[in-house]
Chain A
């Protein structure tokens, strides 16, 4: 922008180029400072011998931290658990979100109330939710155990074993199951809103045409609804997967990765190592192991969403 132009009485609003950069500036600064900087800092830390006590990035050790982390027995477990928890949560969330959106797209008595109830988990602070789930699946006072005992499914001489308690957070698969369940409970409202938005944008004519053409509920669902929902389901899976894969709160508040490393996940392990254990550089290395997975996931989901969207739907 030359001086002559600037003084010719043309306002800022007329200079698209400058205005564009100005409007973009806040988000660019935000991304650079709070996403970009920590990311490159993490890369820098991961190749040094920095600790919490000495967080300088001078002691260059190359890929030593990565090799070190790879050799720990917790690594394969944490990676496996992260993948299992993410996939299981993803599948359950998508199925339930589709079911909920099919329900909420219809008119019925009490729909408003149901909508509020379904959105509630999303609005709940994580600490409150944690207390709820800790109590629900408590080793001594779990109401779920109590119900199971009363149904004679738990306790001496019953199908679920002689013990009076299941000790959810103390067993590998029950612990992982509990983590998946809490993640589904936590992310379902968000996924439902995304899917419902997609569902309501399908013209009603199509469904009425299917009705007249003789299609029942399941044929309509599989032949009409799901194909039309595919792009939006991709978006919902991307968000759900990224939110679960990178989450440490649920594990930290329930099983704490135990027993041993049986229910450990990558983000919480990175936190324990880097912050709790003080090995800042090793924590950064663990966290960076997640990065390629997240990146590939995001790229794939976005590409699929674009492809289904442009698949002949524009005239």
Chain B
């Protein structure tokens, strides 16, 4: 358990700036999710924290101690790879014991530690199997036990859920977060899946082009995106964005509602006349695809409405939709940065 501090971390491969100045402080016991599209530099950043790559510039501190140029084994960092990277020629028991063996722990102590990690993950029945005979979920548990067994200063997860089936993934997400809460180990979790980041992270760092666009709690990022990239990347569907009066105005689909419905009966609201082009059933709610006249070009918008409201809508008709002004977020149309002056 320790803090993690990244100071001005850069990684350049020739003219390519994979990571271009990242400053992040992760508190002791915190779960930080690093979220971004592929190629944003999140994997490179993670590899530098683990010690698998050396930064071109900047400093890394774990537990207050600089580790920037130390090899991985001198950092006491546990890592779970996307593939789980279990040693194929070793049984589950020997896989889990491996990190202890490398540091020359006596056998008795080692066995006790392995039994403890195996107990936490509930994989006692798998001990004598080889990795090839394990399911995806079992592999993950073994990889977690191996990461856990040596009381690491830091957990690093590299998209550990992406090779699981969709059904198992939700469960695995819960288990991972529970494991973190039980052990209290500082965790860096790299993912491109916003559901994982939103669901598990205490805070999320959103990255693009080697930079952190915004660092904050999931709620902050969702409600108060720092720029248009975050607004468009986070949330399903992404934030609606309109060009108006030289600004970009953004609002979430769930706040865009037909005027007739009581929820939208708001004095201080922005009104938009929308042509409904498609209705999509999502289960608990409906997604409304619409178009509005915005200057010369038509603009596509999305609204998320409850089934009762959706029942009043017809494809092809024109309807008045409104969004409360308190829900509008304004961005500079050239830089894409948030403008805090909340004008209509």
Residues of A within 8 A of B (CB): 203, 205-206, 208-216, 219, 223-224, 227-228, 230, 311-315
Contacts and interface: CB of A to CB of B under 8 A. Distances in A.
Interface of B: 50-52, 71-73, 77-79, 81-83, 85, 87-90, 98-99, 102-103, 129-130, 132-133, 146
Nearest to A227: B89
Given A212-B73, A215-B98, A223 B87 contact: yes
A313 B52 CA distance: 27
B88 A228 contact: yes
B87 A212 contact: no
Given A205-B83, A219-B102, A312 B73 contact: no
Contacts of A214: 72-73, 99, 102-103
Contacts of A230: 89
A315 B103 CA distance: 31
A34 to B, nearest CB: 40
A311 B133 CA distance: 10
A235 to B, nearest CB: 17
Contacts of A205: 81-83, 85
Contacts of A315: 132-133
A312 B133 contact: yes
Given A312-B133, A315-B133, A213 B83 contact: no
Given A208-B72, A224-B87, A313-B130, 15 more contacts: A203-B83, A206-B85, A208-B81, A209-B81, A209-B87, A212-B79, A213-B98, A214-B73, A214-B103, A219-B102, A223-B87, A228-B89, A311-B130, A312-B132, A315-B133
B46 to A, nearest CB: 11
Contacts of A314: 132
Contacts of B88: 206, 228, 313
Given A203-B85, A205-B83, A224-B87, A212 B77 contact: yes
Interface centre among A214, A216, A223, A228 (most CB of B within 10 A): A214
A213 B50 CA distance: 11
A-B pairs with lowest CB-CB distance, top 10: A227-B89, A214-B102, A209-B85, A205-B85, A214-B73, A312-B130, A213-B99, A212-B79, A212-B72, A211-B72
A113 B77 CA distance: 38
Contacts of B77: 212
Contacts of B81: 205, 208-209
A215 B73 contact: yes
28 contacts: A205-B82, A206-B88, A208-B50, A208-B79, A209-B81, A210-B98, A211-B52, A211-B72, A211-B73, A212-B73, A213-B73, A213-B99, A213-B146, A214-B72, A214-B99, A214-B102, A214-B103, A215-B98, A216-B73, A224-B87, A227-B89, A228-B88, A228-B89, A312-B129, A312-B132, A312-B133, A313-B88, A313-B130
Contacts of A206: 85, 87-88
A219 B101 CA distance: 10
A213 B94 CA distance: 13
Contacts of A212: 50-52, 72-73, 77-79
A209 B81 CA distance: 8
A162 B98 CA distance: 55
A228 B99 CA distance: 18
A215 B102 contact: yes
B146 to A, nearest CB: 7
A208 B130 CA distance: 20
A232 to B, nearest CB: 13
Nearest to B158: A205
B185 to A, nearest CB: 15
A315 B83 CA distance: 15
A215 B82 CA distance: 20
Nearest to A311: B130
Contacts of B51: 211-212
A211 B71 contact: yes
Given A216-B73, A227-B89, A315-B133, A209 B79 contact: yes
A251 to B, nearest CB: 39
Contacts of B82: 205
B279 to A, nearest CB: 43
Nearest to A230: B89
B72 to A, nearest CB: 5
Contacts of A224: 87, 89
A208 B73 CA distance: 11
Nearest to B135: A315
B70 to A, nearest CB: 12
Contacts of B129: 312
A210 B72 CA distance: 10
A312 B129 CA distance: 9
B60 to A, nearest CB: 15
A228 B85 CA distance: 13
Nearest to B102: A214
A314 B130 CA distance: 10
Most chain B CB within 10 A, of A228, A312, A314, is at A312
Contacts of B132: 312-315
A227 B87 CA distance: 10
Contacts of B79: 208-209, 212
A35 B210 CA distance: 62
Nearest to A202: B88
A306 to B, nearest CB: 15
A213 B52 contact: no
Highest count of chain A CB atoms <10 Å: which of B85, B89, B146:
B89
Nearest to A220: B102
A174 to B, nearest CB: 41
B3 to A, nearest CB: 19
